A and B are shown apart, each in its own frame.
Chain A
């Protein structure tokens, strides 16, 4: 990611500090994309940090100078405490960016995340055709464009369509 692009005056930001935190909240994921490095051998949910541990880590990251947190996984929506973690990140002044397949992102969930302070959402699409997207993900995974439009009106502010290279 490009968390270090910087405007004039950046020189005075030294000493160097981390700007971004990639928070892989879980290995759980409904998708089975062949290119993904997400380990499948780990038992579901085993070894994940607890809510309290993530809240502590987010605070420690902010103290180190982190300004940006990418909430990823696995599929971060698999965490039931995601809104809580978003709220904790915002309390620490972190910019929150959710990286998701959008599976499980109901309108109610989107509104709850927005209320918690979520700044941005990046939705991963796997192909521009539903059948191809489903074949890559290993299950019906394509997102209906009308769903995205509904989020655009009511959900968090921004949607990037992140296409695998």
Chain B
């Protein structure tokens, strides 16, 4: 189905949020929440920023570069954390990789 599992996470892929998932601002707490069939994930600001970059166009490398610029930090210092976070989302079935539909069947 093109779902991004952990083993598929690499610097050159372009993940996007799975169609079944939705991100919105919670009207009660004002926090960013990610909704999917399994439940609710409350995202901290860093998580929300990373999820927001999962648009199916940016590569993970580009996402890391964007975050590095935001924090004025060397990309190498962030890449591990970004990859780990994306792997967690992928393991939960929350990411898709455009163009891979059917490839994993």
- A residues with CB within 8 A of B: 1-10, 12-13, 17, 19-20, 62-65, 67-68, 93, 95, 97, 119-120, 122, 157-158, 160
Contact = CB atoms under 8 A, between A and B. Distances in A.
Interface of B: 18-20, 22, 24, 26-29, 31, 33, 35-44, 47
Contact of A67 (B20, B26, B37, B43): B26
- Chain A at the B interface: SS class: loop
A68 B39 contact: yes
A119 B42 contact: no
A14 B99 CA distance: 40
A29 B87 CA distance: 41
A4 B39 contact: yes
Contact of A95 (B22, B42, B47): B22
17 contacts: A3-B39, A5-B38, A5-B39, A6-B41, A7-B44, A7-B47, A8-B47, A9-B31, A9-B43, A9-B44, A12-B29, A13-B42, A17-B28, A67-B33, A95-B22, A95-B40, A120-B20
Contact of A119 (B22, B28, B29, B41): B22
Given A12-B31, A13-B31, A119-B35, A6 B40 contact: yes
B40 A3 contact: yes
A38 to B, nearest CB: 22
The 10 closest A-B pairs by CB, nearest first: A158-B20, A95-B35, A9-B44, A157-B20, A65-B28, A120-B37, A157-B19, A3-B39, A7-B41, A5-B39
B93 to A, nearest CB: 9
